[in-house]
Amino acid sequence: MRKVAIVGIGHGKFGVRSDASLRELVFEAVKACLEDAGVTLDEVDSMVTGVACDEFSFGIQPSAQVHDYIGFYPKPNYRVEAACATGSVALRTGWMNIVSGLADLVLVVGVEKMTEVSTSVATEIMGRAGDAIWEYPFGTTFPGYYAMIANAHMAEYGTTEEQLAMVAVKNHYYGCLNPYAHMQKEVTLEKALTSFPVAYPLKLYDCSLITDGAAAVLLASEERARAISKKPVWMVGLGLATDTLRLGDRRSLTSLSAAREAARVAYKMAGIGPMDIDVATVHDCFTIAEIVAYEDLGFCEKGEGGKLIEARETYVGGRIPVNVDGGLKSKGHPLGATGVSMAIEITKQLRGEAGSRQVKDPEIGLTHNVGGSGQIALVHIFRRE
C-alpha cells in the first residue's frame, strides 16, 4: 500500500463570516495551504471538496463553485457529504485517490457557510440529518438527540451536569489561544452551569456553534511528500463505520457503536492502541459527545469519561490532551470543514507548531469525527516522521 502524508495545511478564520462567500472562504484556506506546502495549484493532480448541505450553500453544486473560483479545472474535483463528518470523508477520499495510484498530490477542502440563515432555520435543517420519517417530523433537533444521549449516560453512570460543563470550560480556554476559533471567550464553570437550558440537561454552553469556515490540506504520496516537506505527517490508520439511522433502533444510547468500531479498525491498521495516542481532537458537538468519545476511543473505561475531565486529564499536561484547539465547542462547527480542521490541528501538534497550545513532543495523534447522531463515524490516526 502506498504511504500518504499531509504536506500542507491552510485554515481560515471560523466565525460569522459575513465578509466572505463560500467560494471566498475556500480561497483563503487553499491559498494558505499551498503556501505552507510551497507548491502551486498547477502541480496538484486532483481535488476533493467536502460540503455537507446544499441548503446552506444555496446551490446543488458547491464543488463547482469552489473549483471555478480558484481556477482548478479541467482536473478532477468532486463533492463528498457525510453530515458533520463530511470533512473526514473528504480526507479519506483524498487518501484513497493516492493509495489507488490515481494521483500523487491531492487537495482536500472542507467548507460550510451556515450563517446566511437564522439559528432556528439552521437548527431545522440540521434536524433533518436524523430520520426524516420517524424522527424529524416529530420535532427532533440535534440538541434533542444529544440530550437523550446525555440523560442516558447520566442515568447509567452518574455523569453530572458539572462534568458536562467542565468540557465547555476546557474547550473555551483553549479556544482563546486559537486565532482561528469562532468564540475566543473563556467561560467559568458557574456561567456554563447557569446558562439557559436548550434541551435538558444541555444548556447554552453545552452546545457547539453555528459557524462559517473553511480548511484545506494537501496530501502527497511518499515520493512527493519527501520532495516537498521536511515535516510530513503520515496517515497511518483509517477507520470508518456506520450505525442505524434512528436512535430508537440502537442497543444503547450511552455509546456510539460506529465510533467504537471505527476506532478499532484505525488502531489495528496503525498497529497501536489507545494508550499510544499523545493528542486527540474529538467530535464535541455537545459536551456529552466529548465525554462519550473518551470512552468510545478507549481513553478511559466505560462510564469514566466524566471523571477523566474532572481530573483534568484531557488538558495539556494531562494523560491525553483532547481538543486543545477549542474543539467544535469554541472553535466552531462549519459542518464540511470540521474534519479537515481536526486534521490540521493534529498536523500542527505533530510538527510542534501549535504555540501556546502545544502538547509536549507528541508522536501520534488522532481525530474522531461523527456524522449526525452517530450514523457514521471516522477515526484517523497520524504519525510524525
Q: Which residues are catalytic?
A: 84, 333
345 in Cβ contact with 281 (< 8 Å)? yes
- 3-class SS string, 214-253: EEEEEEEEHHHHHHHCCCCEEEEEEEEEECCCCHHHCCCC
Burial label, 248 (beta-carbon count in 10 A; 0-12, 13-18, 19+): exposed
Cα 382 to Cα 108: distance, rounded to the nearest angstrom:
16
Query: Computed over its alpha carbons, how large is the radius of gyration of the chain?
Result: 19
Start-to-end CA distance of the chain, whole Å, equals: 18
Strands (E), the chain: 4-11, 46-50, 77-80, 105-113, 197-199, 202-203, 212-221, 233-242, 279-281, 364-371, 376-384
Apex CA 82: angle with CA 175 and CA 237, to 5°? 75
